[in-house]
Amino acid sequence: MATKQLELHQSVVKFLSNAPKKMLINGQFVQSVSGKTFETINPATGEVITKVYEADKEDIEKAVKAARVAFEGPWKKVPPNQRQMLLLKLADLIEKNAEELAQLETLDNGKPIRESRAVDVPVTADHFRYYAGWATKIHGETIPVSCGNFLTYTLREPVGVVGQIIPWNFPLLMAAWKIAAAVACGNCVVLKPAEQTPLTALRLGELIMEAGFPAGVINICPGFGETAGAALSGHMDVDKVAFTGEYITGRKIIQASAGNLKRVSLELGGKAPNIVFVDGDMEAAVKGCIGSVFFNQGQVCCAGTRLFVENKIYDEFISKVSDRAGKLTLGPGLCEETQMGPLVSSDQLKRVTGYLETGKKEGAKPVCGGDRATDGDLQKGYFVKPTVFANVNNKMKIAQEEIFGPVVSAIPFKDIEDVITQGNDTTYGLSAGIWTKDIKKAHAVAKAIKAGTVWINCYNVFDSAAPFGGYKQSGFGREGGIHALELYTQIKAVWVNLD
């Protein structure tokens, strides 16, 4: 157990001292119209970090108006190379303030500081840089038509005002995934961060203004889903909504979008099969399995939560995984040695421990963990022990429903056909992992698995240039790479009569 916490960077202290935190609308940090605030909690201790002004319908109204005015006016006049410069400047500012952002993220979300430093913050900067590159390379084409003497060309234009709603598991990184591509394409944005983790998005808002983005191009309004989120997804002057979160919320977003038939893209949950064949590199697979389910306390939509292990090595493999899982250092995210922090909230703790009980009742056997961690100061926070369930079959609730915690369900399989059938027996289709040295088998399984991302002999590898998104009920639309440009642009065909 880790206990010695690092001292907060003075810039974090300064950021927090100025409270309640205001939202960013039309280039200004403002209070909520209602004056209402909400608390954001440190999940390692259950203590209040600070208060944040709570966006509601009226605030969303103001933000959408500001985004519309910016989109129809000043932002349209900013040429692509200037958009590029602004995004590059923002990436530089993120790097310059990296330690502050990492600490703020860990404080608010709970994740280990080593992860915030190595993943969340640098990948955020990289994402803005990657899409800065695209800003000057988005263009239409000329079409050789056969129906007459015409010059026919296309314009690839921004969709307009985009509402973006994100979850709490990667608060800063999800903000980057949403904002970077949208703004590179010339859209204006209203972002609603998750109510559990609003802080880094607000700090990002300060950096956005420091970078010099015109007022109204990016608005950041923390608030609750049923109020601010619903107002944004149902707003008649929002042209598109991009959402990441639970599939149930995804359905509500689609319903809310019907009013003005706004465009929708959804990144929803997952229940990924991580498949270990007898001929895989066992050490690498064990390590990959640990990373796939315990990274970010398992609060990752693509986590390899269904561990399929070939019969012959099932017991040996599970024992290696549980040995390693049992040695993970639990503690507050702000301890340098911490490898697994608390879950994000008391609600999430309730959800995950509920599934631990369900699993036991269903007959699954926890060979490691299996309950809340309450040693010493851990009892103040929302800690769950890394858990490995053996004796699981794919029909059990813990194998079908998304737990979103540090819990892996190990399921035996007979052969390649069996694992493809079981692997695909889920309503989700976000990702999958395959461990084998047989290249033919690897490609055959990769082709047969219904998922938006398949990792072969690796897991949870990401790059700004690669697409990410779901098959089936894991959603639709792809973020990352060239594919995100399709989410944020629309095509106009122009015909010129040359006769």
| Contact residues for ligand NAP, defined by CB under 6 A | 165-169, 192, 194-195, 224-226, 229-230, 233, 244-246, 249, 252-253, 267-269, 301, 402, 404, 430
272 binds, among ligand NAP, Mg ion, none (CB under 5 to 8 A by kind): none
The Cα–Cα gap between 303 and 292 comes to 5
Interface residue with Mg ion, options 54, 105, 108, 479 (CB under 5 A):
108
How far apart are the C-alpha atoms of 445 and 55, rounded to whole Å? 46
Minimum Å gap between C-beta 271 and ligand NAP is 9
For residue 264, the cross-strand partners are: 241
Closest approach of ligand NAP to the CB of residue 198, in Å: 8
Which residues participate in catalysis according to the annotation? 267, 301
Binding status of residue 195 toward Mg ion by CB under 5 A: no
- From the list ligand NAP, Mg ion, none, partner contacted by residue 115 (C-beta under 5 to 8 A by kind): none
What does DSSP assign to residue 48? Answer: E
- Residue 312, number of CB atoms within 10 A of its CB: 12
> What does the alpha-carbon distance between residue 479 and residue 405 come to, in Å, rounded to a whole number?
24
Contact set for Mg ion, span 135-154 (CB under 5 A): none
Q: Would you say 97 or 473 has its CB closer to ligand NAP?
A: 473
Quickly list H helices, 42-184: 57-72, 74-77, 80-96, 98-109, 113-115, 121-135, 171-184
- According to DSSP, the β-strands at 28-30 and 23-25 are antiparallel
Q: What residues form DSSP beta bridges with 143?
A: 152
Q: What, of ligand NAP, Mg ion, none, does residue 271 touch, CB below 5 to 8 Å by kind?
A: none
Q: Can residue 105 be called a binding residue for Mg ion (CB under 5 A)?
A: no
Closest CB 426 distance from ligand NAP, rounded Å:
13
Provide, rounded to whole angstroms, the least separation between the CB of residue 404 and Mg ion. 16
Q: Which stretch, 149-157, 194-202, 314-322, 329-337, contacts Mg ion (CB under 5 A)?
A: 194-202
Q: What is the residue whose two structure tokens read 């103040």?
A: 380
Read off the tokens for 106: 């860990």
CA distance between the termini of the chain: 79
Query: Which of 296, 371, 276, 290 shows the shortest CA–CA distance to 112?
Result: 296
Output the six-digit token pair for 429.
């289709």
- Best CA proximity match to 188, nearest among 86, 56, 58: 86
Identify which of residues 269 and 433 has a Cβ nearer to ligand NAP in the complex. 269
Closer residue to ligand NAP (CB): 274 or 322: 274
Q: For residues 165 and 225, what is the distance between their CA atoms, to the nearest angstrom? A: 8
Distance CA 428, CA 474 (A): 5
Question: 484 is in the binding site of which of Mg ion, ligand NAP, none (Cβ under 5 to 8 A by kind)?
Answer: none
Quote the least distance from Cβ 230 to ligand NAP, whole Å.
4
Contact 218, 179 (CB under 8 A): yes
Of ligand NAP, Mg ion, none, which one sits near residue 262, judging by CB under 5 to 8 A according to partner kind?
none
Counting contacts by CB under 5 A, is residue 116 touching Mg ion?
no
Which one of 41-49, 257-265, 299-307, 394-402 is the stretch in contact with Mg ion (CB under 5 A)?
Answer: 41-49
Which partner in ligand NAP, Mg ion, none is near 134 (CB below 5 to 8 A by kind)? none
Q: Which is nearer to Mg ion, 109 or 473 (CB)?
A: 109
Spatial separation of the C-alpha atoms in residues 381 and 378, rounded to whole Å: 5
66 binds, among Mg ion, ligand NAP, none (CB under 5 to 8 A by kind): none
The reply on whether position 40 binds Mg ion by CB under 5 A is: yes
Which of 250, 366 has the CB closer to ligand NAP? 250
239 binds Mg ion (CB under 5 A): no
Which helix or strand (DSSP H or E) is residue 230 part of? helix 230-234
Q: Give the binding site for Mg ion (CB under 5 A).
A: 40-41, 108, 196
